[in-house]
A and B are shown apart, each in its own frame.
Chain A
Amino acid sequence: MSDIVFVDNLVKRYGSMLALDHLGMTVRGGEIFGLLGPNGSGKTTAINCILQLLTYDKGTIELFGEPMTPTRYDLKRRIGVVPQNVAVFDELTVRQNVDYFCGLYVPERARRKELVAEALEFVGLEDYERALPKKLSGGLQRRLNIACGIAHKPQLAFFDEPTVAVDPQSRASILEGIKRMNRAGMTVVYTSHYMEEVEEICSRIMIMDHGKTLAIGTNDELKAQVKVGERIRIDLGAVPGGLLADVRALASVRSAQVDEGALVVVCENGSHNVADVLGVLRRHRAVPGRIWAEPPTLNDVFLEITGRELRD
């Protein structure tokens, strides 16, 4: 697949603050590309620069192999945008809103009518098409926000944290919708600070912080970059003396600590980490309660790269 989005050496300053620090990224056609980072990491700034909503100090931005400028309406017509906040006309009905935003890309009225109907069906708002946005619940407003961004069936869509302040049911619906659009051929750039969402839907992920690219790759590739292979948590009634030292002495263990009556052990990749830790417990005659063993998360990746939690 050819590159749909190409960003190189992008620099954006707000006064003395460096919002984007020589950022680079490439989005391939047909993928769901995740931009993951904590709040204020520069995700939205990067998207706004790509969309030419912001001037930038330095860098190259190309969409569909063409340089992107504020007046490249031919490129803009191939793009859909779902902003972080619900951005619709309060005075227009659901249908009128979708029709308006679709009309910014599709001038033919008959074609637009079909697309609007499809978009409303896609987000499940057919029964609300005559309602004003303020009469809709938060989740339905988010769906309207999405319908306005994708009604014209763009080749490339930017979703900027579309699930913020959304109930779990609507969130699941939104994520499933994005996956369906992607299956239909749409390339998606998805920003979020929810690592679970990014892990669930994105084929490639870029982790960024302080305007810089920290890591980029598939979910597995990113996790393979970190030494954390497994996180084991074992409930213990009591922690015998010397247990913690013996666990830490195991070859694959990177760290071990007691947290609220539970032994938490972070191990490197290995096929019998749990068995090794349980063997130490047996030697100390400690009786294990419940046991959890989790593979590494993107938070572990972020933690290892930055030294702090993604949600800090």
Chain B
Amino acid sequence: MLVTFRAVFVSLMRNPGLLVWAVGLPLALSTMFIFMFDSLERNDAMGELPVVVVRGEGAGGAAEDGFGGLAAGWSDAGSFAGSVDDEGAFLRFVEAVSADGDPDGDGLLSVTYASSAEEAQRLVADSQGGDDAFVGYIAFEGGQPRAYLYPTTETVADLAKQSIVVLLLDQYVSRASLVRGIVQSDPMLLADGRLIATMTDPFEATERISVTQNPLSEKVRYYFALLGFAALSCATMGLTAVLGLRGCSGPLGARRAVGGVSHSRALLGTLLASWAASFLCLLAVFLFMSLTVDFGDRVLGCLAVLLVASLTAVSLGCAVAVIPKLPDSTRAGIITAVTCMAALFTGLYGQPTMELADRIARAVPASTLVNPAAQIAEAFYGLLYYDSFAPTLGHLAILLAMCAVLFALSARALRRQRYASL
């Protein structure tokens, strides 16, 4: 059996046609995904917003032409009592939400200070066209902050930036209003320094949490679908290996069939070799994806899914190999069709197919159960996002059941097949 294993494994791993299909194509698709999602992520990523803040005497200059005089949508808060009602309190708020003020250096604003509104306007105007153009400037006028935003091209990204600045100032004004209300109704509450600190620090009251094992990422779903596709592509290895074992496949198969090793041992060695080769190919694709995709820290779990996925692929290839009276090209066509269709219903080919796959899965849940690519993708999904291993184990159990059925059918067909094609 070891002799068969070694020979079949080496022959599979040296077969350029198989490697192109089992490794080359998934790697090429993975590379395309990396470039595609990288540009999308860059567009979606919102970094610190560069703004100018007027600090000091005469901060409240009027907006000049070229700026959209914008009151940031806040209500008329009136005048504040106490420390929150002055420019100093506002500047502390600005500092708290800026990158310099955040302990992690992860603030909302990147603040440049100006001594006057005129200087702020000039800084904003001069920065336009560059990579870090100022969104606008903020001045504290008559006891209230006001944002003066530079006219934009009204792209979604620019409008989002302006909205963030406006929302930030809204938050400041609403909190100032809350403090004012406390002053008027129960001033003694302000003696609690923690309350003041909480209300003046916008990050203190909000904690970012994730309900999943790892943060959700839309793109990861595509990579899972690709792994399902890659796994099924390895079915060609099982197909080739088992075809070479059959006496009716040609002179080599006939010669192997008359060897002194029992057919079951030869078959076992062949299947193990194609499983190992498929696993290695799939592992190479997985490792390549891992360079850009965070699959979490459950490495052993990922390897277990890869092992079961490659076994599923081998069982599929084996089952197709033993269908009687089919040309080899038709067998390869069946594997290709199954792989592509399974990947389609796993959503590999873009948002529309992803939505189609979701709709079909909702309407006919059994369609996912019989789709090995979907089960492989779901097994990875469970591993990455669920605290428990139970969902992943469930999907692996379904895959193993598929393997058992396919191997049983193959064994029945392989039994006593003869070289009757002379």
Using a CB–CB distance below 8 Å, which chain A residues touch chain B? 14, 44-45, 48, 51-55, 70-71, 73, 76-77, 79, 81, 83-92, 96, 99-101, 103-105, 107, 148-149, 152
Contacts and interface: CB of A to CB of B under 8 A. Distances in A.
A91 B10 CA distance: 7
A220 B416 CA distance: 43
B325 to A, nearest CB: 14
Interface string B117-132: 0000000000000000
A35 B3 CA distance: 33
Contact of A87 (B6, B252, B418): B252
Contact of B254 (A76, A83, A100, A105): A83
A61 B73 CA distance: 100
Contact of B7 (A73, A83, A92): A92
Interface in B161-191: none
B419 interface: yes
B418 A53 contact: yes
Contact of B422 (A54, A79, A148, A152): A54
B252 A48 contact: no
B420 A79 contact: no
Q: Mostly helix, strand, loop or mixed at chain B's interface? A: helix
Interface residues of B, number: 29
B210 interface: no
A81 B255 contact: yes
B66 interface: no
A307 to B, nearest CB: 27
B96 interface: no
A90 B8 CA distance: 11
Given A48-B419, A73-B261, A89 B251 contact: no
Interface string B1-38: 00110110011101100000000000000000000000
A193 to B, nearest CB: 16
Contacts of B4: 100, 103-104
B254 to A, nearest CB: 5
B13 to A, nearest CB: 8
B15 A91 contact: yes
A84 B3 CA distance: 24
B258 interface: yes
Given A70-B416, A87-B254, A105-B259, A44 B422 contact: yes
B260 A101 contact: no
B259 A76 contact: yes
Q: Which 3 A-B pairs have the closest CB atoms?
A: A103-B3, A104-B259, A77-B260
A54 B254 CA distance: 10
A59 B258 CA distance: 20
B258 A55 contact: no
B330 interface: no
A79 B422 CA distance: 21
B351 interface: no
B166 to A, nearest CB: 67
Given A79-B258, A81-B255, A105-B260, A55 B3 contact: no
A89 B252 contact: yes
A96 B6 CA distance: 10
Nearest to A100: B7
Contacts of B260: 73, 76-77, 104-105, 152
Interface string B255-279: 1111111110010000000000000
A83 B251 contact: yes
A88 B255 CA distance: 9
B136 interface: no
B247 interface: yes
Nearest to B420: A54
A88 B262 contact: no
22 contacts: A48-B419, A53-B247, A53-B254, A53-B257, A54-B418, A73-B261, A73-B262, A81-B255, A81-B258, A83-B255, A85-B250, A87-B251, A89-B7, A89-B11, A91-B10, A91-B14, A92-B11, A99-B3, A103-B4, A104-B259, A105-B259, A149-B255
A51 B11 CA distance: 26
Contacts of A54: 418-420, 422
B251 A86 contact: yes
B14 to A, nearest CB: 4
Nearest to B11: A91
Nearest to B18: A91
Given A53-B258, A53-B418, A88 B11 contact: no
Contacts of A81: 255, 258
A51 B7 CA distance: 23
Contacts of A152: 260
A228 B7 CA distance: 54
Contact of B256 (A79, A104, A107): A104
Contact of B419 (A53, A73, A101): A53
A100 B8 CA distance: 10
